[in-house]
Amino acid sequence: MARKMSSTLQVLVVSCCSLLLLCAPAASAGDYPPTAKGLSYGFYQRSCPKAETIVRSFLKKAIRNDVGLAPGLIRLHFHDCFVQGCDASVLLTRTATEASELDAPPNETIRPSALMAVAQLRALLDDACGGAVVSCADILTLAARDSVRLVGGPEYRVPLGRRDGATIAARERVVAAFPPPSSNVTALLAAVAKIGLDAADLVALSGAHTLGVSRCISFDDRLFPQVDATMDARFAAHLRLSCPAKNTTNTTDIDVRTPNAFDNKYYVDLLSRQGLLTSDQVLFSDGRTRGLVGRFAVDQPEFFRRFAFSMVKMSQIQVMTGVQGEIRTNCSVRNAAGGGT
Ligand code: HEM
Ligand SMILES: *[C@@H]1O[C@H](CO)[C@@H](O)[C@H](O)[C@H]1NC(C)=O
Ligand SMILES: *[C@@H]1O[C@H](CO)[C@@H](O)[C@H](O)[C@H]1NC(C)=O
Ligand SMILES: *[C@@H]1O[C@H](CO)[C@@H](O)[C@H](O)[C@H]1NC(C)=O
Ligand SMILES: *[C@@H]1O[C@H](CO)[C@@H](O)[C@H](O)[C@H]1NC(C)=O
Ligand SMILES: *[C@@H]1O[C@H](CO)[C@@H](O)[C@H](O)[C@H]1NC(C)=O
């Protein structure tokens, strides 16, 4: 009887939690990395107190209509931060004399819908704040944070106050910032070490691959001419339905179990040798990262805490603050010369 009661209670608690945001596994304050100088958690409290609510409620509707917007926005923030810091340079469109970062090969699968959502948020925030108060870099940060939450991931707070940069990174720099999907753990660790991230950050942030899609060409070297020895044979057969030969133009879900939910199933994929990219599966093959993969696969709250920690860390890479840079009035173009805020 007592046993039955307690299991009924458990069911009750679990179902309440899934209804109430309050019960969401949130990182506790102690889990946050140090805050970069010039950023703060209440940055827009006076200048635009509704900023965070506006971003959240816009994305709630937009992601309900298009669940692919969530991975799109998360990847956009990642691509911004990995190249010369989180300065919204990824959003600048080409000019007569320079190519944009969006022209470099790693931009592939940056979704146009994500760029459109940023422009819509820019307009909504400007209406509410009486002008360009919230930077484009902060819009990217908030949009990624809310995307994670809105498809089932952790609730966490992000420090704000980033400023927008004026320089577009050169194509070679963009290419160099992103390790190819064929990378081994040595190459992945070297790439993230350059921007102050470690092995735990790499394993946790790669968990973003619980969402979204990849083109066949990012992994078809694992299928042809023969199946990669670290890939489960049934998974390979499944992938060949989407990618029947080398260099086809199809895409497939990255997380085969729950492609549209932010959860820890990506790590279960890796344990089952059903990771999509080489750069995913090697995290389980390599002794330096395997332990954490195993841990996240069995402990979703632990993954959520570590993911939130590493996202906040990533969101503070080489940020500009204070009077550096500007607040762009159009996220795609620099403010007119001399007209910076
Ligand atoms: C550092 C190692 C990483 C590598 C090698 C990598 C590689 C890739 C590749 C090849 C794709 C598919 C692109 C295509 O269609 O061909 C992809 C998609 C994606 N990546 Fe990563 N990634 C890495 C880290 C990250 C991080 C740190 C995040 C975010 C925190 C992230 C978030 C995403 C998302 C959300 C998608 C799906 C995009 C969409 O569906 O629109 N990735 N990644
Ligand atoms: C990404 O780069 C490709 C190749 O240069 C280009 O065709 C595409 O339009 C770019 N994507 C975005 C979203 O700008
Ligand atoms: C990892 O990849 C790099 C090139 O990206 C290569 O030079 C190195 O030999 C590889 N290491 C191992 C252990 O396979
Ligand atoms: C693309 O993949 C889907 C399954 O994801 C499959 O049904 C379809 O046949 C594939 N298209 C081509 C041209 O291979
Ligand atoms: C696939 O495309 C790559 C790059 O364009 C090329 O080098 C390779 O020969 C192609 N492979 C096949 C089998 O078509
Ligand atoms: C922002 O700039 C882009 C690129 O020049 C332009 O296409 C777009 O219309 C501008 N948006 C607004 C709201 O002016």
pLDDT of residue 11: 42
Q: What is the mean pLDDT of the chain?
A: 91
219: nearest Cα among 177, 183, 186: 183
Predicted confidence at residue 9, as pLDDT, reads: 41
Q: How confident is the model at residue 103 (pLDDT cuts 50, 70, 90)?
A: confident
CA atoms within 13 Å, Cβ hemisphere of 53: 6
Can you give the pLDDT at residue 101? 84
pLDDT for residue 129 is more than 80: yes
Which pLDDT band holds residue 337 (cuts at 50, 70, 90)?
A: low
Q: What is the pTM (predicted TM-score) of this model?
A: 0.91
Task: For residue 79, indicate whether it is catalytic.
Answer: yes
Let me know: does 181 contact 109? Beta carbons within 8 Å. Answer: no
Rounded Cα–Cα distance for residues 83 and 168 (Å): 9
Does the C-beta of 190 come closer than 6 Å to ligand 3?
A: no
- pLDDT (tens digit per residue) in 192-222: 999 999 999 999 999 999 999 999 999 999 9
Cα 329 to ligand 6 centroid, rounded to whole Å = 10
The answer, yes or no, to whether residue 30 has pLDDT greater than 70, is no
Percent of the chain with pLDDT over 70: 90
Record the tokens describing residue 162, joined without a space.
């980033």
23 pLDDT higher than 50: no
Ligand nearest to the CA of 185: 3
Closest ligand 5 atom number to CA of residue 247: 1
What separation in Å is there between the alpha carbon of 109 and the centre of ligand 2? 8
What's the pLDDT at 2? 41
Identify the residue whose tokens are 């991975």.
71
CA–centroid distance, residue 93 to ligand 5 (Å): 30
- First-to-last CA distance in the chain? 67
> What percentage of the chain has pLDDT greater than the value 90?
83
Locus of tokens 């100088």: 37
Which atom belonging to ligand 2 lies closest to the Cα atom of 115?
13
Q: Are 182 and 221 in contact (CB under 8 A)?
A: yes
* Residue bearing the CA closest to ligand 3, atom 7: 187
Find the residues whose C-beta lies inside 6 A of ligand 1.
71-72, 74-75, 78, 108-109, 111, 179, 181, 183, 188, 205-206, 208-209, 211-215, 218, 277, 279
C-beta of residue 97 within 8 angstroms of C-beta of residue 279? no
| 71-98 pLDDT tens trace | 999 999 999 999 999 999 999 988 778 8
